[in-house]
Amino acid sequence: MTVTSFDDSVEIALGSNTQTSVKILNYGATVLSWKINGKEQLWLSEASKLDGSRAVRGGIPLVFPRFGPASGNHPATDKLPQHGFARSVTWELLGQVDDHTVQFGLGPENLPKDIAAAWSYDFTLIYTVQLLQDSLKISLDVKNPGKEAFDFNVLFHTYFAVPEVQNVTVAGLNKLAYFDKVASAQVASDSEKEVTFCKETDRVYRNSPAQVEIKEGSKTLFTVQASNLKDTVVWNPWTEKAQEMSDWAPKNGFHQMVCVESGVVADFAKLASDASWTGSVILKAHI
């Protein structure tokens, strides 16, 4: 394995097999690309800005410390933009842990003034990205070195590349209650056997199982194995929403992606002074 640092990003490749690799942008510590034997596993919009002017549209943006838009009833995070700041600030590359693992760090000193003023807690984030033969392990440590407790949401907003989303299902969430963000309503339970995609889909499953699968017929494309991340968000914008997003291209690219996002979003996690928290997810591609 080799780790190569560039000015704006870092790349890990499996030994001499550069066909299996992961590329992470320092901006947002966003995983931009994850390839196995040359095949890209993540969807990235062709119109995504990669110059640090806005959050990346695709790959794996990190959501912290709030999920979604300001609710108006959580003063500690209500001044922050949608999905918080972690995805739209430049992280520090801390270095490589071993020949297939790198770490990024973020603290108050890395925040622009307006964000630091909007969220004035002391915090340390350590993001670890580990490339394995057929999987990618990503984990986030959140530490509170300050005197004051803080609340946070966190989410690994993973855009999986799929051949055609209409042939894809998500298994493991069957018959669970979820919050339907499209209808703005709680759905008591899902009668579908597996989640299917034929329209805009935006669901928050609270207390979801640790493992969910993205399937194409009977074939498993990806296994998502989460640890200490109790919720799962499933999102596909479909025609109109994709049209509305200026950084979404091609416009019909929603057919080739599905977001299955592990995190803590239905409620805020609370971190006391001196406490720390770790959540991780292993994304396994079945190729």
Ligand X SMILES: O=P(O)(O)OC[C@H]1O[C@H](O)[C@H](O)[C@@H](O)[C@@H]1O
**In whole angstroms, how far apart are CA 47 and each of 44, 54, 152, 247, 250?**
9, 11, 30, 5, 8
Which of 138, 153, 158, 173 is CA-nearest to residue 264? 153
25-54 footprint of ligand X as x/- string (CB under 6 A): ------------------------------
Among 259, 260, 264, 285, interactor with ligand X by CB under 6 A: 259
188-217 footprint of ligand X as x/- string (CB under 6 A): --------------x---------------
59/172 with CB nearer ligand X: 59
Active site residue 100: no
Angle, vertex CA 184, rays to CA 208 and CA 44, nearest 5: 65
To the question of whether residue 206 is assigned a binding role by annotation, the answer is no
3-class secondary structure, 109: helix
Burial of 287 (0-12, 13-18, 19+ CB in 10 A): exposed
Among 89, 168, 233, 266, interactor with ligand X by CB under 6 A: 233
To the question of whether residue 82 is assigned a binding role by annotation, the answer is yes
Cβ neighbours, 10 Å, residue 95: 13
To the question of whether residue 54 is assigned a binding role by annotation, the answer is no
Residue type, 18: T
Residue type, 233: V
83, 100, 255, 261: the active-site residue: 261
| Pair of tokens at residue 38 | 């040359």
Give the residue at shortest CB distance from ligand X. Answer: 235
100, 157, 213, 255: the active-site residue: 157
202/213 with CB nearer ligand X: 202
The radius of gyration of the chain from alpha carbons, rounded to an integer in Å, stands at: 18
Active site residue 11: no
49-88 footprint of ligand X as x/- string (CB under 6 A): ---------------------------------xx-----
CB of 210 to ligand X, least distance (A): 20
Catalytic residues: 157, 261
Enumerate binding residues for ligand X (CB under 6 A).
82-83, 181, 202, 233, 235, 259, 261
